């Protein structure tokens, strides 16, 4: 993959709704297939992606293709196939380490998600926010940790723990974050903006 390919893919992962609608695995498949055909197979993303699915996730490539591999990983991990696709795409893009330009794109999107954590509620703080968070936060990757100060990373880990436990909203107001996430966001703001 060239840097151009990686930049397009990171934009696609971080802002999928700008490229396809509805956001579903069939439209993802169409977009990625169309892109690789347009690149006259010079972009080896699909092969790299399938290799990670086969080796790291131990999902054989069968007649249902790489979408089938994604669906099986999703089922095993109890997450959506879109979240799985995005996570594995980020792993594929950053397999050789962190590039500053791509880091800036990813970090900007994560900061945007953190900014949607608001005491008054935010119209985009809902289930799609949770899926976006789960898609972009790869706590166990060294390259991900390198994007943040130690203090920021610790708070992101704590927010991630709340999100994965399902504790994201106030039980009475569904667009208002839980107190735990609000407190973590305030700590993050103090570190980041002071």
Question: How many residues does the structure list for the chain?
Answer: 194
Q: What is the pLDDT of residue 97?
A: 83
Indicate if the pLDDT at residue 131 is higher than 90.
Answer: yes
Please report which confidence band the pLDDT of residue 32 belongs to, taking 50, 70 and 90 as the band edges. Answer: very high
Please report which confidence band the pLDDT of residue 43 belongs to, taking 50, 70 and 90 as the band edges. Answer: confident
Q: What is the pLDDT of residue 126?
A: 79
Name the token pair of 8: 């397009």
Nearest-angstrom CA–CA distance, 35 and 73: 24
CA 103 vs CA 19, 87, 89, 122, 189: distances in Å: 20, 15, 14, 26, 20
Nearest-angstrom CA–CA distance, 101 and 3: 10
Indicate if the pLDDT at residue 85 is higher than 80.
Answer: yes
Please report which confidence band the pLDDT of residue 173 belongs to, taking 50, 70 and 90 as the band edges. Answer: low
Please report which confidence band the pLDDT of residue 35 belongs to, taking 50, 70 and 90 as the band edges. Answer: very high
Q: What is the pLDDT of residue 110?
A: 97
Average per-residue pLDDT for the chain: 92
Handedness of CA 109, 55, 58, 165 (dihedral sign): negative
Handedness of CA 149, 151, 192, 8 (dihedral sign): positive
| pTM assigned to the model | 0.92
Report phi then psi at 169, rounded to 5.
-125, 160
Indicate if the pLDDT at residue 172 is higher than 80.
Answer: no
């Amino acid at each position: 993959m060239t840097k151009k390919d990686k930049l397009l893919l990171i934009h696609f992962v971080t802002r999928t709704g700008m490229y396809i609608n509805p956001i579903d695995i069939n439209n993802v498949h169409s977009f990625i297939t169309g892109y690789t055909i347009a690149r006259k197979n010079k972009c080896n993303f699909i092969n790299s992606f399938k290799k990670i699915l086969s080796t790291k996730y131990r999902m054989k490539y069968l007649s249902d293709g790489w979408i089938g591999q994604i669906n099986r990983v999703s089922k095993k991990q109890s997450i959506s196939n879109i979240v799985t696709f995005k996570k594995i795409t980020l792993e594929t893009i950053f397999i050789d380490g962190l590039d500053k330009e791509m880091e800036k794109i990813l970090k900007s999107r994560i900061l945007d998600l953190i900014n949607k954590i608001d005491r008054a509620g935010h119209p985009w703080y809902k289930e799609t926010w949770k899926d976006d968070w789960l898609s972009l936060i790869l706590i166990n990757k060294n390259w991900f940790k390198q994007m943040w100060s130690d203090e920021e990373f610790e708070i992101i880990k704590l927010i991630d723990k709340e999100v994965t436990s399902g504790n994201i909203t106030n039980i009475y107001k569904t667009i208002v974050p839980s107190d735990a996430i609000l407190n973590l966001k305030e700590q993050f703001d103090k570190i980041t903006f002071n």
